[in-house]
Structure 1
Amino acid sequence: MPTVLFAVPALWEEYRPSLTAAFDGMGVDLVTEAAPETVDYIIYAPSSPLQDFAPYTACKAVLSLWAGVERIVGNPSLTQALCRMVDPALTEGMVEWVVGHALRHHLGIDRHIVNPGRVWDPTCPPLARERPVAMLGMGELGTAAARALASLNFPVTGWSRSAKAVAGIACLHGEEGLEAALRGAAIVVTLLPKTAETENLLDARRLAMLPAGAVILNPGRGAIIDDAALLAALDAGHIGHATLDVFRVEPLPKDHPYWAHPRVTVTPHIAADTRPASSARVIAENVRRGEAGEPLLNLVDRKRGY
């Protein structure tokens, strides 16, 4: 009987019913405390007090509840397999956030919701097919969001660091591909992982590549954007608006310039979240695979960092 350690005490009561149901009939010993040498799998999140994995000599895999693994992947004591969370419900939530805010900016909804001067402006927006979108990051989340936007007739160009092929989406990679994607985009969505290569990817030079008035949506990682460069581009009117869900420091400090900027919308890291019911099934499936000797789902490539 494999022992599965739930190593995030603060989330135990939230996840216990779903994990118990997901493991039903599998013969799994789901615990919150155990001698390290007896543990076969660890359910983990970066907020866990468990930071030293060396004593867990029999552990076959660390199963993260988070999609992002930048806060654990570099842990030198972690020699076990690491699996990130790819939760269908998390993906669904991210798609809804991206599509909702893309349509909000595309349709110019804000000027009708907040219109204290009662200005009658019958200007119609262009059609979606006239509003190009650049999707930076074509992993699970980026691909799903790109497909959803394309289904609404937005011309979507996907960009990733390595070559990708997605039916119906023009995919670019590399530095030249990034420049081409940015120069043609009215809306930019960032769904890249945080790595040494992606930090400050949208700096002053690359922001200047965007057409005047472009909109940025960042539900991915706060560090992808150079904050000072973005604020300067917003102040200059080159960037029309930035809707940001993730930040270098969270909660976003109350004195941060983003809060008061008229061209910035702050959402409090709500674009997507791991749902206990669906993520518990992903965890249970990986434990089943591990016990059956099958390949684990969503295995992290340590060299690439995701």
Structure 2
Amino acid sequence: MATTASKMSSYVAVYSTIVNITKCLKTVLPNIQFQEVSPGSGDEDNLLTKAEIIVADNDLLGMHLYNLPAAKWVQGTWAGVETVLQHYDVSKPKPTFTITRFSNYFLGCMMGEYVIASIVNHERNLMPVYENQQCSLWNRDGKISNHRSISDLTIGILGAGTIGTDIAKLLKTLRARVWGLVHTVPKDEKRSPYVDEYRLNSDLPDLLQNCDYVINVLPSTVDTAGVLNGDMLKHCAKRQAVFMNIGRGTVIKEEDLVAALNKGWLSAAILDVFETEPLPPSSSLWTMPQVKITPHVSGCSRPQDVAMFFKENLVRFQSSQPLECVLDLDKGY
């Protein structure tokens, strides 16, 4: 796939529904001409087929995957690529342009903030504190004052890649012990100083047995789908771990997660992603007292962040350097 350009085309097409994304792109790259392409507009196909560089929402890109003859590089605005992959047909010639995901430290830091905030809120039991305030009640009972610190915790990260390592860095700053699940254990010189223990996917039960929190950051791929299904979470029972899912809901069936909570293998779950989204009102997760739910917001594609990431990748593109976060269509990430 091409990752370089001898010269830029007359414009960069912006094919996105993210509010203010074109404005943010123009702010950080005032000398570049950006052409908004509105989904469903009459000139949509005409503008996209002529563009060499495109900034696009992943779902919109997927629908045009085989109809971008001039494209050399497409920068996606999301980290998740399922909506691109569902249009990828291995029987057809592979697209010749490079696709890059929006990820790197932009999402890693944001998702790390979510992790830290969620752990602190859970360990300090802050929700009752807010409720007490409404009743003018000064109450320091239970975990409100007698709680675990992050430095007391061993935290396992399922998917210790770019984002996972950024999360580990924040956790290590607060002196947590961090375990990371990986495809391949890195060589000594490439090991992250923020990961204390690496475990291969085949050693998942060992990680689950030794962690107080298990944080899923894995993408949705053939290899990761259902990795926690069945009774896998029984290995969390020893420490009654808290399960946090900020990766993808496909790692576990909802019924298996509910069972793990009901059996006491998990003491709680903090969930931002789900097997079905939006989470249906009929889901029993809504009413389980040990579950906290957020609507897939742990790592949002903020327009100013997408613009800065595109700017950094554009510098690489124009200087024939490898781009960051290139999507491998065959691997699925």
Q: Give me the TM-score of the superposition, normalised by structure 1.
A: 0.88
**Unmatched tracts of structure 2, length 5 or more:** 1-7, 38-43
2:100 to 83, 86, 101: 83
Alpha-carbon distance between aligned partners in 2 of 1:119 and 1:253, rounded to the nearest angstrom: 36
Moved more, 227-236 or 287-296: 287-296
Alpha-carbon distance between aligned partners in 2 of 1:240 and 1:65, rounded to the nearest angstrom: 35
Alpha-carbon distance between aligned partners in 2 of 1:168 and 1:90, rounded to the nearest angstrom: 17
SS of 1:204 mapped into structure 2: coil
1:105 matched to 2:116? The reply is: no
Alpha-carbon distance between aligned partners in 2 of 1:220 and 1:243, rounded to the nearest angstrom: 12
Partner of 2:171 in structure 1?
Answer: 149
1:125 shift after superposition: 2.7
- 1:89–1:275: 8 Å Cα contact kept in structure 2? no
- 1:179–1:206: 8 Å Cα contact kept in structure 2? yes
Q: C-alpha offsets along residues 162-213 of structure 1, whole Å, 9 cap, x if unaligned?
A: 2232114124232443222111011111111111111121123320011252
Partner of 1:19 in structure 2?
Answer: 25
Over 3 Å counting, the alpha-carbon distance change for 1:212 and 1:173 in structure 2 is closer
Q: C-alpha offsets along residues 14-34 of structure 1, whole Å, 9 cap, x if unaligned?
A: 2121011222124x4534244
- 1:258–1:264: 8 Å Cα contact kept in structure 2? yes
Q: Give me the TM-score of the superposition, normalised by structure 2.
A: 0.82
SS of 1:300 mapped into structure 2: coil
**Unmatched tracts of structure 1, length 5 or more:** none
Sequence identity (%): 25
What's the Cα RMSD here?
2.6
SS of 1:30 mapped into structure 2: strand
Supply the AA of the counterpart residue of 1:150. Answer: K
1:93 to 110, 132, 147: 110
Alpha-carbon distance between aligned partners in 2 of 1:119 and 1:24, rounded to the nearest angstrom: 54
Supply the AA of the counterpart residue of 1:214. Answer: A
Partner of 1:45 in structure 2?
Answer: 57
- 1:60–1:290: 8 Å Cα contact kept in structure 2? no
Residues matched between the structures, number: 303
Matched ranges for 1:102-141 at <5 A: 102-110=119-127, 112=129, 120-121=141-142, 124-141=146-163
Over 3 Å counting, the alpha-carbon distance change for 1:114 and 1:131 in structure 2 is farther
SS of 1:6 mapped into structure 2: strand
Alpha-carbon distance between aligned partners in 1 of 2:63 and 2:13, rounded to the nearest angstrom: 14
Partner of 1:298 in structure 2?
Answer: 325
Partner of 2:41 in structure 1?
Answer: none
1:36 shift after superposition: 4.3
SS of 1:305 mapped into structure 2: coil
Supply the AA of the counterpart residue of 1:86. Answer: S
SS of 2:85 mapped into structure 1: coil
1:163 matched to 2:185? The reply is: yes
